Homo-oligomer: A and B are copies of this chain.
C-alpha cells in the first residue's frame, strides 16, 4: 500500500492519523486505533459538511460535532488544530494527556474550546447529540420565520460499538426517533473491535435494524477506509432526510495503516510502539516526521478559517434581516442566547408564611416551575415518565413533540439516564436554555453517569428529584432513598438542596437558576418531599440561598443546636419548642444545602454553627454517612442506615425514629 504520491485527500486523512499516532506515542498513552480508522469519515464530515468558524468556537449557528467515542479524542484534537482553532496548537498536541494540557485524555468542554461536551464514558456523547439536536429544533421552532431560517444547524456525532452497547444510548436514540429529530446525524464507526477483542464475543445484534426500529433512517458504508465518495453521498442523503435522525454505519478497520496491529484490540487503547509507528509510516507511505504536517494538507484544512468566517458573516446578515423584520423576536432571541437572566425574574418566586397551607415541597416545586416559566424564556424540561408525581408539568405550554418543537414540556419516557445526557446537552448548547430533568430521587441511581458529567462539564441543569425519603411510604425499600442524598453531596461541583418548606423550595430554585445561568454553569439537584410539610417561621428565600441558617434561637449562647433538613426540620422545631419550655437554650438550624453553606464566609458559618457549641443533634431521614462533619464527637445523628420498608409513610417515619419524641430524647441524651 505504499503510495508514491498521495491525493490531497489522502494527505489530509493521513495527517489526522499521524498526529494521533505521534501524540499517543509521545504520551505512551492513549487510543490510536479509532483516530486511524475513523479519520476518513471525520475528514469527509469536517471537510465537506460541518459548518463552523475555527476562530469563533461560540458562533451560535455552528453545526455541533460530538466525538461520542471520546477515547479517540486525538481525532478531534487533530481536527481542531488542523482547521485552525486557537484552542489547540501543535504544542498542545505534543502535550497530549499531560498535566493541565489543552489535550486531555478524553474531550473536556471546559478545557478545550471547540469541544462541545465532555465525553469518555461511553454512550454519553451520542445521547448528548440527541440533546443538542433537541435544542436546535426547539430554538428553530420558536424563532424561525417562514422567510427566515435564523436557527439552522446540524448535530453530528461519531460513535463506537461501545456507545451502541450502552443502555443510555438506546434510551436517547429511542427518544430521538420518536421526536423525529431530522438534523441529527450519527456516524457509527463499525470496526468490530472493543477492548475484549472482536465484537463477535458479545455484540452480534443487528444494529441497523435496531435503529430502524427506533425510527431512524439508516445507511451502511461497506468500506469506510477508502470510499470517500460513498461517505459523502451518505451524509448528503442523511441531511436530505428531514423527519428522522440518521445513522450511517461505517465499516472501518481499527488502526488502519498499522501493518501488525490493525484490526486488533491491541491498537484500541495503547501506543503503537516505536517500531510499529515506523512500520505504519512505511505502510502508508508517510515520509513526514514526528508531528509534521505536509504544507498542502495544512493549507487545505486551513481553508476552514475563511470558510468559517464567511459562514458566520452570512449568518450575521441573516440575523440583520431578521432583526429588521422581526425586531421583537430578534430582541428576545438575543436576550435568550446571551444567557443573561431577565431583570427581576426572581420576583416571580412564590413566597410563603406559616399561615399558608402545608404542602409537599414537590408541589411547591411545581408552583415555582409554573411561576418561572413565563419570566424565564429559557426554562424548559420534563420528567422520565413521572410528570404527575414529580409535578413538573408547566401548564402554560404543551408537549415538545414532532411538529411542536416550540413547546417546553419534555416527555422523556422511562429513560432516566437518557434524560440526563439530553438535559446536559441542552444546557451545553450554550443558548441560554435552562433545562430541568426529573424523576424519583431513588432513580438518580440510574443516571449517575450523566449527573456526574453535568457537574464535571459545568452544565447548568436543574435536577428535580421527588419522593426523597422513607416518608414516601408504601412503595417500599426499592424506592425509598437512604444513601442517595449523601452520595450526591459527595459529587464535586453539584449543589444538593433539600428544602424544608415553600420558601426554601423557592430559595433552592433561585440558586439553581443562578447557577445554571452562570458562565460557566453548574448543576443543582433538588430533593423534594412527597408528603405535606408546614411552612416554617423563620424560613425565607434569602436564608435558604445561603445553604444553612438559623431558623430559630434562644437568647444568648445556645446549649444545643438541632440541625435538620427537609421534612425533618419540623421535628427539630417541635423539639426545640419543648426544650425551651423546659428552660433549655436551643437553636434550630435548617441546612438545606451543604455545598451552599460551605461556600459562605467563615464568619457567617461560625455565626450559624459556632465551634464552641459542641452539643448538636442532626436529623435527616437518610443515611448518617457524613453527618459527623456537623455534629462532631459530642453530637448525635438521627438517621437511617438500613434499607426502608413498605408501609404508610407516617408509619415508616415513626418506626424508624423520626418523631419529635425521639429528637427530644436524643437531645436530652446529648445535653447529658
Which A residues lie at the B interface, using CB under 8 A? 27, 29-30, 70-71, 97-101, 104-106, 108, 118-123, 161-163, 165-171, 174-175, 177-178, 194-196, 199, 201-207, 209-210, 212-215, 265, 383, 385-389, 399, 401, 411-415, 417-418, 442-443, 445-446, 448-449, 452-453, 455-456, 473-479, 482-483, 486-487, 489-493, 623, 625-626, 628-629, 632-633, 641-643, 645-648, 651-652, 655
Interface centre among A163, A174, A418 (most CB of B within 10 A): A174
Choice from B118, B449, B490, B645 contacting A446 with Cβ under 8 Å: B449
Known contacts A99-B651, A443-B121; decide if A202 and B411 are in contact (CB<8 Å).
Answer: yes
> 4 extra interchain contacts, Cβ-Cβ under 8 A, other than A166-B446, A489-B625?
A99-B647, A105-B474, A165-B174, A196-B387
Contact yes or no, A214 B210, CB < 8 A: yes
Taking CB atoms, residues of chain B closer than 8 Å to A651 are: 98-99
What residues on B are CB-neighbors of A204 within 8 Å?
177-178, 215
Please indicate the chain B residues that have their CB under 8 angstroms from the CB of A215 in the complex: 204-206
Among A171, A202, A487, A641: residue with most chain B CB under 10 A: A202
State the oligomeric state as a number of copies: 2
Q: Do the beta carbons of B492 and A643 come within 8 Å of each other?
A: yes
Asked if B625 contacts A628 (CB within 8 A), the reply is no
Interchain CB contact under 8 A, A106 and B196: no
**C-alpha spacing A476/B31, complex, angstroms:** 13
Nearest Cβ on chain B to A127's Cβ, whole angstroms: 9
| Residues A99 and B207 in contact, CB atoms below 8 Å apart | no
Q: Which 8 A-B residue pairs are closest in the complex by CB-CB distance? A: A167-B167, A104-B646, A120-B478, A202-B413, A487-B487, A209-B213, A483-B490, A99-B647
How near does chain B come to A417, taking the closest CB pair, in angstroms?
6
| Residue from A194, A206, A449 with most neighbouring chain B CB atoms (10 Å) | A449
* Complex Cα–Cα for A175 and B168 (A): 15
A29→B478 contact, CB < 8 A: no
Q: Are A195 and B29 closer than 8 Å at their CB atoms?
A: no
| Complex CA–CA separation, A401 to B105 (angstroms) | 34
A493 contacts which of B383, B453, B643 (Cβ < 8 Å)?
B643
**Neighbouring B residues of A399 by C-beta, 8 Å:** 201
Q: Which residues of B contact A161 (CB under 8 A)?
A: 414
Cβ A476 vs Cβ B104 within 8 A: yes
Interface centre among A162, A490, A645 (most CB of B within 10 A): A490
Beyond A414-B194, A448-B445, whether A167 also contacts B165 by CB under 8 A is no
Q: Determine which of B171, B474, B632, B633 lies in contact with A167 in the assembled complex, contact meaning CB atoms within 8 Å.
A: B171
